[in-house]
Amino acid sequence: MLCIIVWWLVMLWKFCWAGDASSAKHPQDNTRFEKYSFNREELKHYKEETKKLFYFAHDNYLQKGYPYDELRPISCVPKTRNFADPDDQITNDVLGNFSVTLVDSLTTLAVMGDKSRFASMVGLVEATFPNKFDIDSTVQVFETTIRIVGGLISAHLYATDASKAVYLGETYSGSLLDLARDMADRLLPSYLTMTGLPVPRINLRSKFDPITIELVHENNVAAMASPMFEFTMLSYLTNDSKYALVTRYALNKTWALRSELQLLPMSFNPQTGQCYSQISGIGASIDSFYEYALKGAILFDDEELYKIWQDAYSALNTNSRADWFYTNVQSTTGQLQTVWIDSLSAFFPGLQVLAGDVEDAMLKHMLTSKLWDTFGGIPERWDFRGSPALDAKDHLTEEELRSLVPLEWYPLRPEYVESTYFLYRATKDTFYLNIGVAILESLQTKFKHQCGFGGFQDVTTGEPQDRMETFILSETLKYLYLLFDVDNELHSARDNVIFSTEAHPMWLTPQVINNYKSKKYFNDTTYRKHLHACRARDGGSAFSDKKKTFMGGKLLGFAKSFFNLKQDQDQVAASLSQGLAGIKGQTALAHPRTFPHEQMCYPVESSNGKPQWLHSRILSHFDRLFEIDRRYNTTLIKPGHMQQEVPALLRRGFYDRWAQKSAKSRPAPTTESFEIVLDLPGECQLVRTPDGNVHRNTLGGRTKIRLEKIEPGLIDIYGRHVDPKIFTNLRRKDLFKPNCDKIDSLYSPKMLYRATMINGIYLPAGAALTLNQSTVFKTQSEENTFRNLFGQNRYHQLMLDCVPIINFLLQ
């Protein structure tokens, strides 16, 4: 027995510590590690390498870019606001001539624990703004809030918290908070509209005088609602509640503009509340609304914000959630609106982790990983549907490939790294560390230029981008550093630390909370009168947040959209779903371009002597690992500059070490599926039990059920052959519809239905969807309506068109 124990210890030592030709030395000692062992020394090495990258860019900015806003990484000259053209929104919204890179990167130094440089940069900020932000610049309120106000507040928290490594003590005067308050006071007049919703831009010196109507007539949901987070933090730290009250009123007003499906359109006229864009999703223009509803609920212990998050997330899952991503839908109908997803939506898996929905977060993150492996970055927009005309071609020209990427740039956005960090903290799966290593190596090679870091101007050609946006230093490198820094003080902080949308850590101590509750004030008569007038105008208006009903409580309809799961489920479900009028679709278009690995199965060989309990759960047990490659093989096409790149998960050193020999892929389904949609009065209430069953006591609200059409011998969505025994001795007589008895084919069953998803919730194999018969019908009329849509057999299974739904039970 002792010999066996010794043998295992030796094998473990060899696996984790022994060096070989692929070993790397830690820069500060003689410890060696084997790459992809992911022991503490290897992670420490990656952490230090990430820190070097940050210092490289930060030093170059200070030497060649400061006091301007940004430094161009290739040409090594400052990038400034466009002083000659005030209408250059793309440039001037962010670059306010206020050294934004300096301010936005303060908290990365704090996270890295570099007290000396942090103190030096705080001093530089103080010297840079002797007159605070008295600058003749018209800027975007949202971007300035998250980068400047948020950055200053978070840095102030670090400077004044004795538990933090960069605590400055009595040497710090509170200047950062003073600057944050000055900037907030310059931005807050944007809320002085008839509706209380902020206009998107304001001049820091003269407010609205030089601003044209074209610059303020439309604002998006994220920009109207999200400043609540930073401004509420400012109220807690200053005791002046005007910041919290004014911005929270705007968030509530924004939420009141949602549709009857609880979906928010993306943009409005802040002066009138008129809707400009009916698109709803999770990406650009709306992303931070969801983020701050949940994060604000946690940080401020706010039940109302949490209810907003719950309702918004439920609506997204019902109307927008697909298997691998969230689609952009029409906010009033839930129908598909666009066939692209954008790069900012890559943040959402991290938010799902915070909400506890880790399982679906892993799925959504997988799609982003495939985009990274295909293009070397995340395109600003990617078309998941493609074109039938291109599907028939074996090779695409550069222009044809470009058509699959409507917006082709990748500015090193942080969202993919952010979600990777959160998923690793939740799962501790080395799959995510491996992604971090791949990102780090790309930063060291592809994206590192003479004076900093720049992404791709075009992901289809690999053309570099000569711009280093502030979020690269504030977010991208910060999240990458935290991924590898397992001992960072944030990971064991006593306080409830929440990252802002710009990755600035925020927390509230009990002392600050109690102090605010006892000493808060609201003395500013301008904003007191403003809120009073807004509330008075709200009475009976479209803004009043009254309880939503569905089309006056009428049954909207009953729809079926067929699509073939052998091919692209998300694409066809989106393109064929045409509303709630009982329209039937067609099967999916074939994809003639074949994927080189038809079965999606790769050989998995264990290293000799490798302990079997050391493995990546995703590599070894997630049998859908290559499903995305099959479904989207006509739109996930590697451009020329990526042809020699090996996907991160298939790099031999990682794959051989962390995949178990027993790993296998799920075969593609050969069944068909379709969806039915019901809209009934009331609210949707679902209860998911630990065994995967979903139970409902009521039928209120929107219900979207995905049904699978199963036949003997076919492969179902779970990768199993349909068992013929299911069809044996199954009586299909409808207890309520005599006409079913007249259909002879019903008594020689060849096809059944099975529910596989309800309102975005996946039903595992063997799970059931149940309705409580004693509570689900409040009136005889409701029951009759339901019976007209569904029948029921003696096994309590509901029936659709005289065909039983074997796991949809009325009990």
Distances, alpha carbon 630 to alpha carbons 196, 344, 622, 710, 807, in Å = 48, 24, 16, 22, 29
- Buried-state track 224-244, b at ≥16 Cβ within 10 A, e below 16: bbbbbbbbbbbbbbbebbbbb
- 143 part of the active site: yes
Among 49, 143, 408, 502, the one annotated catalytic: 143
Return the closest-CA partner of residue 404 out of 356, 371, 437, 373. Answer: 371
Cα separation, 555 vs 580, whole angstroms: 10
d(CA 13, CA 33): 11
Pick the catalytic residue: 42, 49, 114, 287? 287
501 is in an annotated binding site: yes
d(CA 446, CA 435): 16
User: Would you say 144 and 182 are in contact if contact means Cβ atoms under 8 Å apart?
Assistant: no
> Residues in the chain, how many?
811
Residue 774's contacts (CB-CB under 8 Å, 6 or more residues apart) are none
DSSP lists the bridge partners of residue 52 as: none
Active site residue 287: yes
Given the structure tokens 């222009």, which residue do they identify?
399
CA–CA gap between residue 156 and residue 107 (Å, rounded): 9
SS3 328: strand
**Residues 479, 481, 485, 491, Cα dihedral to 10°:** -30
With 0-12 CB in 10 A as exposed, 13-18 as middle and 19+ as buried, what is 66?
middle
Task: Tell me: cis bond preceding 67? Omega within 30 of 0 counts.
Answer: yes
d(CA 229, CA 500): 8
Which residues 6+ apart lie within 8 Å of 790 measured at CB? 798, 799, 800
Residue 81 contacts residue 69 (beta carbons within 8 Å): yes
HEC letters along 745-770: HHHCCCCEEEEEEECCEECCCCCCEE
The catalytic residue among 380, 475, 675, 679 is 380
- In single-letter form, the type of residue at position 133 comes to F
Residues classed as catalytic: 143, 287, 380, 415
- Show binding-site residues for Ca(2+): 501
- Show binding-site residues: 501
